[in-house]
Structure 1
Amino acid sequence: MASLQDIQRRISSTKKTRQITSAMQMVSTAKLSQIQRSGSGYHAYASRLEVVVEHLVAAHLLDNVDAKHIPLIGQRDIKKTGILVITSDRGLVGSYNANVIKQTNDLMKKLSLDTTNTVILAVGGNGADFYKKRGFNVAVEHRGVSDVPSFNEIRSVLKTVIDLYDAEVFDALHVVYNHFVNRLTSEYRDVQLLPLTADTLARMGGNEAQKSEYNVHSVYEIEPDTNAVLNVVLPQFAQSLVYEAVLDAKTAEHAASSTAMKSATDSADDLISRLGLQYNRARQAQITTEITEITGGMVALE
């Protein structure tokens, strides 16, 4: 049985741990609120851009364009598949990273992908380290994403992704990440981003409420020509989707961290309560023993 001193040490150590996890929970909750406020404006922009692209598809502007002049919609044989996997740089986020990596591996099995025909583009250290250790070609490795990432911060990654696709380093691109649902829940998402097709663009377009709100019409006068316009709009659209995925994943990361730290704090409270009960019982047993010894000594003296 543990001594009273040992129990006291454990209680003291657990209380210190609880202070740390409680502070980390408050920090993560503050970061979550901050990124939700900061990202609301960009989400409005992204929604409007999605509606415009959907209407470009509805206006049949992509039906007869020359894919040679617009690489993002060019259909080619898929020899290698790029997977942009978004994870965190650190742990203490519960099952956040494990969920992304597990389901990404399931996606690879479904698509018959392995180290020979897969290019990993990693945003976050966990995903980069995992796939590097397993022999995958990690063409992009971006660490140190800030708590509230700006578009300028991610711009270099976005440009690199588009450049690698144009250079035919990979022939299709999937973006995989955890989508923020609420403070307690996130869900895995897989978006096949490239090549952009009329069907995928139509599916990615805004919902009916957004289309009605923005009142975008499907009739366009193009100047100077369709190719020039699409070569501006479509790269912006692709970059917007990637940046929005990074924002979404970072939001889910803060929520996962807050939840994990709350769980750790609650567990520390339970352990402190159990240790306190154990300490009181041990102390009571010690006092009872001392009383018995004193009583026995008095009887002996009589």
Structure 2
Amino acid sequence: MGAGIKEIKNRINSVQSTQQITKAMELVASSKMRKAKDRALASRPYFNTMYETVKDIATNTRGVRDVFLKQREVKNRCYIVIAGDRGLAGGYNSNIFKLTTAHMDGRQEKVIALGKKSVEFFSKKGYDLLVSQDNVENCDYEKTLEIANTAMDLYKKGEVDEVYISYTEFVSPLVQRPKLIKILPLVFEKDDTEVKSKEEGRKARVQYLPSPEAVLSYIIPKYVSGIIYDGVIESFASEQSARRNAMKSASDNADEMLSTLELSYNRARQSSITQEITEIVGGVEALK
């Protein structure tokens, strides 16, 4: 019985030590998540403005031509895959890898990997890694601009015919959604905003100087790098949220395990005390 009590006590100590680690990681992830969430929310207006500007030029300007607007036969693709720097974040990393590889449909496409886990995954699988960026947290706008220029050069040279980005969209601290979008060539579909504008009044046309093509050639690199940078920020916020949720769940499970173990310990201890009392009483009765 003494061995059983000691074993339960050792398990309680082990679970308590693990719980201290998970709670500490939860606090760190919560702190980083709040800062990353603010960055993600602050970057969205910039991205939306860039998107609307490029879309307006591409869809509402007649005769505009640009190499990034021209679609061609798809032979090779490039995927910019943003994952985490560390694990212990639930299904955060595996979800983005499943989404990306499913879209590749078994082909060994070119990959630009951002995040240590992304680099490890695609290098082990034998993919053609064009760029490897181990640290998502320190991936600033200048680095994303370099990545955007690399992807655009590949597209202009004809080495790839489509460029996609895979990242995790930050919806809320409890919800993160893996997402894959095509960034090259630029494809925009007209929505019903023109119909609404006709009902409200004729929409004023914007005149782009010196020409729509010049404005487009200037703004497209910033637009593509903006998408990548937004993906980095959204992914980092999602990673911290996923890790926070995973560590909170682990801490809650540890609480339940401790309750069960403490109950078992008390029962075993009570049983041991009862047995000792019974032995003492039995010895006293034998002496009479």
Q: TM-score, normalised by structure 2?
A: 0.89
Aligned residue in 2 for 1:65: 64
**Is structure 2 residue 261 aligned with structure 1 residue 251?**
no
Aligned residue in 2 for 1:21: 22
Q: How does 1:164-203 map to 2 (within 5 A)?
A: 164-199=154-189, 202=190
> Does structure 2 retain, via aligned residues, the 8 Å contact 1:72–1:235?
no
Structure 1 stretches of 4+ moved >4 Å: none
Please give the per-residue CA displacement for 1:151-192, whole angstroms capped at 9, x wherever unaligned: 234333233222222233311011112211211211221111
Structure 1 residues 11 and 198: alpha-carbon distance in aligned structure 2, compared to 1, 3 A threshold: closer
Aligned residue in 1 for 2:200: none
**Is structure 2 residue 153 aligned with structure 1 residue 163?**
yes
Q: TM-score, normalised by structure 1?
A: 0.85
**Is structure 2 residue 222 aligned with structure 1 residue 236?**
yes
Give, in whole Å, the separation in 1 of the partners of 2:212 and 2:56.
14
Give, in whole Å, the separation in 2 of the partners of 1:235 and 1:153.
13
Give, in whole Å, the separation in 2 of the partners of 1:98 and 1:196.
28
3-state SS in 1 of match to 2:112: strand
> Does structure 2 retain, via aligned residues, the 8 Å contact 1:90–1:125?
yes
Aligned residue in 2 for 1:214: none
> Does structure 2 retain, via aligned residues, the 8 Å contact 1:7–1:275?
yes
Please give the per-residue CA displacement for 1:197-225, whole angstroms capped at 9, x wherever unaligned: 343xx57xxx99xx9xxxxx662333223
> Percent identity of the aligned residues?
32
**Aligned residue-pair number:** 280
Letter in 2 for 1:12: N
Please give the per-residue CA displacement for 1:88-139, whole angstroms capped at 9, x wherever unaligned: 0210100101111112222222xxx512xx1111111222222222221111
Deviates more, 1:35-44 or 1:275-284: 35-44
> Does structure 2 retain, via aligned residues, the 8 Å contact 1:58–1:218?
no
Please give the per-residue CA displacement for 1:62-109, whole angstroms capped at 9, x wherever unaligned: x4234xxx3322322211011111110210100101111112222222
Unaligned runs of 5+ in 1: 212-216
- Quote the RMSD (CA, aligned, Å): 2.3
Structure 1 residues 152 and 22: alpha-carbon distance in aligned structure 2, compared to 1, 3 A threshold: same
Aligned residue in 2 for 1:7: 8
Q: How does 1:41-60 map to 2 (within 5 A)?
A: 41-60=42-61
Aligned residue in 1 for 2:88: 92
**Is structure 2 residue 130 aligned with structure 1 residue 139?**
yes
Aligned residue in 2 for 1:126: 117
